[in-house]
Amino acid sequence: MSKTTRFWVLTVSLTIICGVLFLTCCKKNDPVVPSTEDSSSFVMLPEAVPDAILEIRYYGTYNFVGDRIDGYEEPTAMLTKQAAQALKAVSDDVIRQGYRLKVYDAYRPQKGVDHFVRWAADIEDTKMKPYFYPDLDKSVLFEQEYIMEKSGHTRGSTVDLTLFDMATEKELDMGGTFDWFGPESHPDFCGNPETGEYTGDNRKSPAGRSITEQQFANRMILRRAMLAHGFKPLDTEWWHFTLKDEPFPDTYFTFPISSPTK
């Protein structure tokens, strides 16, 4: 083989190797997660689902942090147009059953998630521990994924909610508060959410807590309505649902929660 031939063989080989390494690195780092301030694909929840009651916990101080969360500039909620349309169908469904939706949180700006992360890193701040995580040491919140650097809420098609009973004019008793950190919040706590069967099995509760058959049944009313209209559940929170065909599965939005006139 001539020197010229060896040179070109070596050049082509190096080019192929570099190309493979480049593709490998790109694959490893994918997907690229974009963020954007563009709110044009969102709607205000009170306009899209007028029958829903809003109790935006992160605008106030009754939440696991104990302060208003960054990015919550008004006590309102926003969702992508597709998620809001699906939630309107859920609202119409539960109204026929004698209930209204009560929303705690929907779209969450990335700056709100960043606020949670800063709070979780401050191990000494435990003022809300008795109300939301009495069975946990705050140091395990990252490890057990109660707090993460990214949230599905920031993609705009996730909602946290419960049911309001129009007959009693009270929230339906779900046997536990929104944002309780523990297995008692899991949809399969004391029952099988796939069949709706109550089992009473509370062995996962570190403090021996339980919920009643009626409380489990109430959780299932909400779950069935959400799943029937295109939402999927989370296996650790009975109140949390995401639109199955969410329009922005890889985008994390950064605009604050406020009305369009602001």
Q: Where are the domains of the chain?
A: 37-179+240-253
Give the model's confidence band at 260: pLDDT under 50 very low, under 70 low, under 90 confident, else very high: confident
Judge whether residue 7 has pLDDT over 80.
no
Residue 190 in contact with residue 136, Cβ under 8 Å? no
Q: Is 237 a catalytic residue?
A: yes
- Residue 34: pLDDT above 80? no
pLDDT of residue 259: 85
Q: What is the pLDDT of residue 36?
A: 84
Q: Does the pTM exceed 0.85? A: yes
The pLDDT assigned to 131 comes to: 97
47, 194, 237, 246: which is the annotated catalytic residue?
237
Confidence tier at 128 by pLDDT (50, 70, 90): very high
**Which one-letter amino acid corresponds to residue 137?**
D
What pLDDT is attached to residue 26? Answer: 38
- pLDDT, position 261: 61
> pLDDT tens for residues 187-212?
999 999 999 999 999 999 999 999 99
Rounded to whole angstroms, how far apart are CA atoms 17 and 22? 9
| Whether the predicted pLDDT of 60 surpasses 50 | yes
Residue 20 has a pLDDT of 37
CATH number of 37-179+240-253: 3.30.1380.10
pLDDT of residue 59: 98
In angstroms, rounded to a whole number, what is the distance separating the alpha carbons of residues 211 and 82?
A: 34
